[in-house]
Amino acid sequence: MKRPDLDRAAIAPELRRLERRLMLKGMVSLGGLAMLSGCVLDDEPAVERALARVMNFTDRAQALLFSRHRLAREFDASRITRPFPFNAYYGQDEVRTVDPAQWRLEVSGLVTDTRPWSLARFRALPQKRQITRHICVEGWSAIGCWSGVPLSVFLQHVGADLRAKYVDFHCFDDYSTSIDMATALHPQTIMVLDFDDAALPAAYGAPMKVRIPTKLGYKNPKYLAAITVTNRFPGGYWEDQGYDWFGGS
């Protein structure tokens, strides 16, 4: 009997969760038994609790090592990956689009100005350009050219409390993620308007994505719809399923 074709986009999230579980379980079985003494690998709740402790430790360690003055490597234009790969938890034919003229970024939380922002307002702010490497947790990387407004500049314009702990992002493709304030204020963290010196295309997150070269790819949200400054831990789409929250590259 002929096997039906598999919908790779539909099963991709489940495959990634399975791969992560197998990888982490292997790490525990190979190197963590002493640390997790008394934890039976077949006792799934115990393993999950132990892994959560390890991930929390990793997040704290990465935060201590992070510096707003340490820059990710930037490259010459000859190193740009073309075509730059599409990547999401769905197929490229499922990309959702919005009218750039009608798009508005919602702003909330610990800010003094919650008025929505249009692309025209962002275009009027200072822009930065970078050629940096996107590193995917799946094991591949690609170099792209990104231009946009430093997130630190935007946060200052909306009167954000820069002592707050987190900046939370929600996207109109139902994705979400969040970062610490130190990463938000890093000079290479930008709100991208252009890719390869042209308006950001739909496949890469139009009308706006956030580019954070000090983070792994899943911490770089596309199709941005809302931003919140908060002291309440926000989590994220993959982080809520067990991925490392800090996500440093």
- 54, two tokens: 């390890």
Residue 203 has pLDDT above 90, yes or no: yes
For the stretch 60-105, pLDDT in tens is: 555 555 666 789 999 999 999 999 999 998 999 999 999 999 999 9
C-alpha separations of 93 from 50, 90, 162 in Å: 39, 8, 39
Distance CA 188, CA 194 (A): 15
Average pLDDT over residues 194-217: 97
**Per-residue model confidence as pLDDT tens digits over 30-61:** 444 444 445 554 556 665 555 556 556 455 55
Q: Where are the beta strands (DSSP E) in the chain?
A: 106-109, 128-135, 141-150, 166-171, 176-180, 190-195, 198-199, 209-211, 224-230
The predicted model scores a pTM of 0.78
Report whether pLDDT(117) > 80. Answer: yes
Considering only residues 108 and 60, tell me which one the structure prediction assigns the higher pLDDT. 108
Omega cis (within 30) before 150: no
Task: Give me the helix-helix angle, 8-31 and 44-65, nearest 10°.
Answer: 90
Which band of pLDDT confidence, cut at 50, 70 and 90, is reported for residue 143?
A: very high
How much is the pLDDT for 65? 57
What rounded mean pLDDT belongs to the chain?
Answer: 84
Report yes or no: 83 and 142 within 8 Å, Cβ to Cβ.
Answer: no
